[in-house]
Amino acid sequence: MRSRVSLSAPFLLVYLLPMLQVPNQETAAILCRTLVDCSYDESRVQALAGNLDPPIPGTPRWYRLEDALDPSRPEDALVLWFFLGAGVREDVASAMSEEFLAAAGEVGLLAKRDGWLFPQTLLIPGYGTWFASDRFRAPEETPPYETTRADGGPPLPPDPVLAVGPTPRNLDLFSLRTEVGSVLDLCTGGGVLAVRQAAHAARVTGTDLSARALAFARFNVALSQSSSAPGPLGDVVGAGGAGVGAAGTETETETERRSGAGGIEFLEGDLFAPVDGRRFDRIVCNPPFIVMPSGPVGLTAGAQQDDQAGAGPIESICERIVRAAPDHLADGGTFQMIFEWPEFRGEDWRERLSGWVEGTGCDAWFIRANQQPPDAYVEARIREMDALGATDSLGTRFRRWMAYLRSHDVVGVHGGLVLMRRRSGGVRRWIRFEELAGDLVGSASGDLERGLRRFDLLAQAQDGSALGGLRDTPLRRATTYREFAVRQDGRDFVRLEAGEGWVRKVTVQPEIAAFLSRFETPTPVKTAIEAFAAELGRPVDEVETQAGRVILELYERGILDHV
């Protein structure tokens, strides 16, 4: 049956509207069907581009991809429009079905101007669905054009909706995925994490200060629920029905009415203001965190003053979020955030972050992934602003940015994650700092759950000894334990690995690996040490002091685990 949407009126309408329109079920089905039929998916884009990060127009990578695509082929036209953000001449794109073009025009994905079809957003494949986001700002080009062009378009708004990139992907990999009643996606942006968490929660709420971002989020949820592409989001369709969470009970009808998309509700407002008085079983947050003097609202952690290099606090939003999150967690609830933070001269950054969580009633696990001196940090970040419509020179931006960091005595910028868990009563709470060692190869949810369990035991059993209170605890090698012979500097070692998504790696002497064979089955630590001391003919206390530190470190890293 032919779609009832027309080809001309929607294009005129979308040229005037600043935001995407949530598609109805029929329109969403048309869009998804064409995207699937034309193989606009993760595997094809990955094969073409090498990764799923859209290139910035005007760069060699953009032109290389554009040159390799034939806009007369529908499968290539989709990549040009929605991965590169390129316009395609209308007569060249004539092979694309009118049904799809009409649907794309109706919801605001495409606009027709002067014989060209221009994308109004990017539409990046991921997790078995697609996520719309703002296009990058393209440089103006000089005619004549052939069949495609990088459309400069209007300047981006002050609250751009960013494409799915490494940051949300990494937070998703580090997000807990156990089944819960309620999840809050704070600073939801385009709703990527809300969609991802919907497969593991009875109800998901997303909040954002930007009305534009929420329009994108509602669009993305509607598209994901209509997607027929195979992938991990296949069970999101219909997810988020009636359920009881920390915030109370709602019927499925009420939730759908509030969200406009199958049980995921989106609320506009500053941080936690839209959910005041509510508690959640899980909160995830990808906030504005770039440490810079001013910039797009959706990126900058500090103040937005433009007149003084040193005006405004640094990292104010991230600190506010960490301090406020516990008030919105149910007992046992968790909060996870990916962020960056500055290191100030003469101050231990660990002490400062510890102060953020002091008195919150939460355990806290800080995982540092990277650190950079200020000049390297600014150099790495500054060109990202080009794609967002920066108008001043690179030199001007660099000097202003560095002056801002110097005015605050910033000597380094760190990036990583924090996991907090609220616990009431007289439970002994803990704070942990860890480096992101090892490889991230998949969901780390199970690894994080086991880590919380290990740190709980250490907090309760801590006695100040080399074994940290583990002496009577039966330990075993982790169920994912692996070992490999390696050679370094002409010597033989053994590399120990454990973990599902977050693979920890420790290189040890062969004697230590041999000692760990005693924990192939659950064995009390004291039993293993006593037997080892007897074999060596050495005092138990001496062996315990030496081996205890190794056992404790391997336990903390998940190479060893308790029953």
Residue ranges of the chain with pLDDT lower than 70?
Answer: 1-19, 142-143, 152-155, 228-262, 294-315, 386-392, 426-427, 463-466
Contacts with 370 (C-beta within 8 Å, 6 or more apart), sequence order: 414, 415, 416, 436
For residue 242, being part of any structural domain is answered with yes
Phi, psi of 169 (to 5 degrees): -65, -40
Domain check: are 486 and 557 in the same one? yes
Domain check: are 302 and 277 in the same one? no
Cα-only R_g, the chain: 26
What DSSP element (H or E) covers 244?
strand 243-245
Does residue 100 contact residue 31 with C-beta atoms inside 8 Å?
yes
Integer angstrom CA distances of residue 412 from 96, 319, 343, 374, 555: 51, 17, 5, 5, 31
Domain check: are 425 and 502 in the same one? no
> Would you state the pLDDT for residue 295?
55
Q: What is the tally of structural domains in the chain? A: 4
What are the pLDDT digits (tens) for 24-79? 999 999 999 999 999 999 999 999 999 999 998 888 999 999 999 999 999 999 99
Euclidean distance between CA atoms 430 and 93, whole angstroms: 60
For residue 403, being part of any structural domain is answered with yes
Which strand ranges, in their side-by-side order, compose the sheet holding 474-477?
Answer: 523-524, 474-477, 560-562
Domain that includes residue 367, residue range? 287-436
Length of the chain equals 563
Structure tokens at 282: 């899980």
> Would you state the pLDDT for residue 388?
63
Euclidean distance between CA atoms 411 and 405, whole angstroms: 8
Euclidean distance between CA atoms 147 and 389, whole angstroms: 25
Domain check: are 38 and 84 in the same one? yes
Q: Which of 252, 268, 286 is the last residue of a domain?
A: 286
Domain check: are 64 and 13 in the same one? yes
Domain check: are 85 and 111 in the same one? yes
For residue 446, being part of any structural domain is answered with no
> Would you state the pLDDT for residue 20?
86
For residue 112, being part of any structural domain is answered with yes
Euclidean distance between CA atoms 143 and 146, whole angstroms: 9
Does residue 200 contact residue 258 with C-beta atoms inside 8 Å?
no
Q: How many CB atoms lie within 10 A of CB 518?
A: 17
For residue 4, being part of any structural domain is answered with no
Domain check: are 408 and 466 in the same one? no
Domain check: are 486 and 365 in the same one? no
Domain check: are 272 and 303 in the same one? no
> Would you state the pLDDT for residue 292?
82
Q: Which of 229, 258, 286 is the last residue of a domain?
A: 286
For residue 165, being part of any structural domain is answered with no
The pairing of strands 201-208 and 264-268 is parallel
Euclidean distance between CA atoms 203 and 255, whole angstroms: 8
Q: Which of 245, 271, 286 is the last residue of a domain?
A: 286
Q: Where are the alpha helices (DSSP H) in 333-476?
A: 349-357, 374-382, 394-407, 445-461
Structure tokens at 107: 């919801």
Domain check: are 142 and 39 in the same one? yes
Does residue 236 contact residue 204 with C-beta atoms inside 8 Å?
no
For residue 303, being part of any structural domain is answered with yes
> Would you state the pLDDT for residue 303?
46
Domain check: are 201 and 266 in the same one? yes
Domain CATH number, residue 208: 3.40.50.150
Cis peptide upstream of residue 144 (ω within 30 degrees of 0): yes
Domain check: are 215 and 123 in the same one? no
Contacts with 184 (C-beta within 8 Å, 6 or more apart), sequence order: 204, 205, 206, 207, 275, 280, 282, 283, 284, 328
Mapped onto helix, strand or coil, the DSSP state of residue 478 is: coil
Does residue 374 contact residue 410 with C-beta atoms inside 8 Å?
yes
Q: How far is it between the farthest Cα atoms of the chain? A: 89
Euclidean distance between CA atoms 98 and 5, whole angstroms: 10
> Would you state the pLDDT for residue 483?
94
> Would you state the pLDDT for residue 282?
98
For residue 445, being part of any structural domain is answered with no
Integer angstrom CA distances of residue 424 from 120, 327, 440, 540: 49, 12, 32, 39
